[in-house]
Structure 1
Amino acid sequence: METSRPLIRVVAGVVLDRQGRYLLSSRPEGKPYAGYWEFAGGKVEAGESEFAALRREFEEELGIHIETARPWLTKIHDYEHARVHLRFWRVEAGGWSGEIQAREGQKWSWQRAGDFTVSPMLPANGDLLAALAVPTQLAGRLKTGFYGENGMGGYRVVPFALAEPQHANVLIGEPELRARGKMPAAQSVWVVIDKAEQWPLIQDADVAVWRVPNREAAEAVCAVLENGVSLPLVVLADESTLAAYRRRWLEKGAHAVIADDETEFA
């Protein structure tokens, strides 16, 4: 009987520059998927924290020093050679220093969200590239949609009921999605929830929007983030809740937080 393969813990860094571009590097010769492009990183050693592993890998591979980073998305991926638990960390432009060096003979390139120009891409990174197009600074309302900017320019997501053919990103509530029985036809679908029990039901969404109506829900967001999320999680809350939880949510891996100025929760 075939034994299940152990889960290998791996970290990878999404390093950004001041133009909002992210860093990709190619896998060197001698490693599985040699020549494929990926976010740099590597295996977490025994007794090592994920952040320590991230810093070590970037020093060893690219000669840069990671000073600050925050967890982002978590993926479990089955490769031919291993089953890996991938934790991606965001490293903003001010969170690293040094000059990039190809210490393992690999190539490296700065890319823009939604417009990458290198190939072939490592299979596990397809969803990551799409998620990088979602701005981390957003404004707006559930009734009219959200807007922001990424490396390619303006970005907007509109309520499904108001969407027209030119709208690539749509917003829909989990009850409405459940009633439809299928995802809307769109480039990305943002699904709105307000209860912890809805979270497992929306894992096929491109982005989750968690509207926080009370402290219990705020703590539930923290618990979900602690376990790692596989899709960008945007948290929507009133100003007083944001004041109490914004930092915790972001430090645990929330993609973005938005102030909710609508007085009634659905």
Structure 2
Amino acid sequence: MTDPALPVVLVVAVALIDADGRILIAKRPEGKALAGLWEFPGGKVEPGERPEAALIRELHEELGISVTESCLAPFVFASHAYDSFHLLMPLYLCRRWSGVVVQREHAALAWVKPERLSGYPMPPADAPLVAWLRDLL
């Protein structure tokens, strides 16, 4: 059982889906927690920030793309207890953005078919989302 005193951290993530049905995943860089693992792009929601606004901000900062709120579709969420906090992470789907995806903060980026996502090691909170993407896309 987890410690009820753990702070809850709200993080948003997105499954960017290209015209070929592939999903973008990003490799966490050295020096960050869970370095070397693959994750869905996104980041922390700042105090007073709406989740969709945070995701739009993070996608611009991390990948250099612009997304409008109307192109973000809520999909599923992850809830996972780490040692020092509890992560709550809504995952959105996005098929439309402007700009070209560029690697700004991650060690690598990969466009992956949903059925191949399980071949990439992911943080414990991201891994359960793979089955949802594989089964429903």
TM over 0.5: yes
Change (3 A) 1:131 1:84: same
Q: Tell me how far apart the structure 2 counterparts of residues 103 and 32 of structure 1 sit (CA, whole Å).
A: 17
Instruction: Tell me if 1:44 matches 2:69.
Output: no
- Cα deviation for residue 121 of structure 1 reads 1.7
TM-score normalised over the length of structure 2: 0.88
Partner SS state of residue 65, structure 1? coil
Q: How does 1:163-242 map to 2 (within 5 A)?
A: none
Query: Using CA pairs below 8 Å that are at least 6 residues apart, which structure has the higher relative contact order?
Result: 2
CA radius of gyration, larger in? 1
What are the within-5 Å matches in structure 2 for residues 71-90 of structure 1? Answer: 71-90=74-93
Aligned residues: 133
Q: Which amino acid aligns with 2:40?
A: F
For the Cα contact (< 8 Å) 2:28–2:38, is it kept in 1?
Answer: yes
Matching residue of 2:129: 128
Identify the residue that residue 238 of structure 1 maps to in structure 2. Answer: none
- What SS class does the counterpart of residue 92 from structure 2 fall into? strand
* 1:39-81 CA distance string (max 9 Å, x none): 0111100111110000111111111111211111122111234
Per residue, is there more helix in 1 or in 2?
1
Displacement over 2 Å in runs of 4+ = 116-120
Change (3 A) 1:134 1:117: closer
One-letter amino acid matched to 1:83: H
- Residue 22 (1) aligns with residue 23 (2): yes
Cα distance in 2 between the residues matched to 1:3 and 1:115:
36
Quote the Cα distance in structure 2 between the aligned partners of 1:60 and 1:72: 22
Structure 1 residues 47 and 58: CA distance shift in structure 2, 3 A = same
Gaps of 5+ in 2: none
Report the TM-score, using the length of structure 1 for normalisation: 0.47
Change in Cα spacing, 1:34 to 1:81, as seen in structure 2 (3 Å) is: farther
What code does the residue aligned with 1:129 have?
Answer: V
Contact 1:65 1:96 in 2 (8 A): yes
Are residue 57 (structure 1) and residue 70 (structure 2) matched? no
- CA 43–17 in structure 1, closer or farther in 2 if over 3 Å, else same: same
Q: CA deviation at 1:108?
A: 0.3
Residue 117 of structure 1, CA deviation: 7.1
Alpha-carbon separation, structure 2, partners of 1:36 and 1:8: 19
Aligned to 1:69: 72
- Give the CA deviation at 1:12: 0.2
Check conservation: 1:28, 1:106, Cα contact below 8 A: yes
Contact map agreement 1:43 1:53 (CA 8 A) in 2: yes
- Do the aligned partners of residues 33 and 81 (structure 1) sit closer, same or farther apart at CA in structure 2, a change above 3 Å counting? farther
Deviation at 1:107, TM superposition (A): 0.4
Q: Percent identity?
A: 38
Distance 1:110 1:59 in 2: 18
Are 2:100 and 1:99 equivalent residues in the alignment? yes
